[in-house]
Structure 1
Amino acid sequence: MTDHVKVEIDAGVMTLTLARPDKKNALSNAMYGVLADSLEQAESDPTVRVVVFQADGDSFSAGNDLQDFAAQATGAFEGERHVMRFLKNLAKATRPLVAAVQGQAVGVGTTMLLHCDLVFTSPDARLTTPFVNLALVPEAASSWLLPARIGHARAYAMFALGEAVSGETAAAWGIANACVPLDELRAKARAAADQLAKRPLGALTTTKSLMRDAEAISALMDKEGELFGQRLQTAEAREAFMAFAERRAPDFSKVG
């Protein structure tokens, strides 16, 4: 479907590498499709015991491809949208999920980490969830998961003000397990994945199910998704995306 996601399986570990570094690994609809398909494969393939997310280049992900967003906002988008399938697969994943995060992790690049069981960041990581900046609302059940993880005040500042969280802070706040040097990041994530792959899968699966309410998370994703779709059709969103295309600051006062 796309060459922008590399899928490798080795010694029980499926590694999904975002490979669109020239676009800061912004996630296109096709990339979401590969990620969703891969998570479904991991659930059905007994040889896959752990899934690792990582990225080529200097950023983990710049978030959703804004051209796709703009097309949805103007009604020009056609075909199946795979983002919700990816998010739902994150919600119901029974395999341990591990992430190695460097550079920018914007929007879904951050919210997907809330579904990972182990997260490692590099010092240059910058986690942001600037949904309000685009006149949108949080997704991936992050409106619940992020405040539950770091508290309302910190989460609100990330959502409403778009405040960035460094790799060190992400570890200190509990979004990540540890912040490690960039040149050790992938090795650290892989070592953790290898350890998990040797654990009894049934025990890991049951433990994860006890720690997460997959049905409640999925239901909240539906609610967020409905509101997200509505927001994409608003005058505020059109102004946000027009401003992005015109490389200027948005003026929400004229659409308020």
Structure 2
Amino acid sequence: CDLVMAAAGATFSTPFVQLGLVPEAGSSMLLPAAVGMAVANEMLLAGRVLDATEAVNFGLASRVFSSADLLGKVHATAINVAASAPNSMKETKGLIRHGRDQMLEHMQKESVLFAAQLKSTEFAEVVQAKMLKRMPIFD
């Protein structure tokens, strides 16, 4: 995401391992870059959920607004961005993203692991446990 703003009651989570899955869409690379390795590990491995203020403090979001104000603030920001010089915007975004050349390769690896995990007994156990409203049991 180019710009991330959150409502005061928003939460940010990555429940992959709790669902018997692995991260996908580059999240195992992007999240540590955004919030730092320690917080990313806590989120990805231990299921830590960040509230909106924590997300701002860790750099995952830029601003927090009340639910009532969020849409208006986002709209005003979108109007400001849309009024910017298009090529300048494109080149600036390219500069910000420069150095993420490994992202495609990383996402492909995540995709392979994610697909494999969907077929795993771990994932099947998580799904069954959720349906039966119990904790999963892993051998």
Q: TM-score normalised by the shorter chain: which range applies?
A: over 0.9
Match of 1:154 in 2: 39
The aligned amino acid for 1:199 is S
Match of 1:194 in 2: 79
Q: TM-score, normalised by structure 1?
A: 0.52
Structure 1 alignment gaps of length 5 or more: 1-115
The aligned amino acid for 2:86 is L
Structure 2 alignment gaps of length 5 or more: none
Match of 2:106 in 1: 220
Deviations 1:63-97 (A, max 9, x none): xxxxxxxxxxxxxxxxxxxxxxxxxxxxxxxxxxx
Structure-to-structure mapping, 1:63-142, within 5 angstroms: 116-142=1-27
Matched, 1:233 2:119: yes
The aligned amino acid for 1:242 is Q
- Distance in 2 (CA, whole Å) between partners of 1:121 and 1:202 is 28
Match of 1:170 among 26, 50, 55: 55
- Distance in 1 (CA, whole Å) between partners of 2:4 and 2:134 is 35
CA drift of 1:181 comes to 0.8
Partner secondary structure for residue 136 of structure 1: coil
Which portions of structure 1, spanning 4 or more consecutive aligned residues, are displaced by more than 6 angstroms?
none
Match of 2:128 in 1: 242
CA drift of 1:225 comes to 0.5
Partner secondary structure for residue 118 of structure 1: coil
Structure-to-structure mapping, 1:37-52, within 5 angstroms: none
Give the number of the structure with larger relative contact order, counting CA–CA contacts within 8 Å between residues 6 or more apart.
2
- Distance in 2 (CA, whole Å) between partners of 1:161 and 1:215 is 29
The aligned amino acid for 1:220 is H
Partner secondary structure for residue 107 of structure 2: helix
Deviations 1:132-155 (A, max 9, x none): 101111111111111011111100
CA drift of 1:216 comes to 2.5
- Distance in 2 (CA, whole Å) between partners of 1:163 and 1:245 is 23
- Distance in 1 (CA, whole Å) between partners of 2:69 and 2:57 is 19
Q: TM-score, normalised by structure 2?
A: 0.94
Identity %: 36
- Distance in 2 (CA, whole Å) between partners of 1:159 and 1:240 is 16
The aligned amino acid for 1:120 is M
- RMSD over equivalenced CA pairs, Å: 1.2
Matched, 1:209 2:129: no
- Distance in 2 (CA, whole Å) between partners of 1:138 and 1:150 is 16
- Distance in 1 (CA, whole Å) between partners of 2:105 and 2:69 is 37
- Distance in 1 (CA, whole Å) between partners of 2:29 and 2:46 is 17
Q: How many residues align?
A: 138
CA drift of 1:215 comes to 4.4
CA drift of 1:218 comes to 2.2
CA drift of 1:161 comes to 1.0
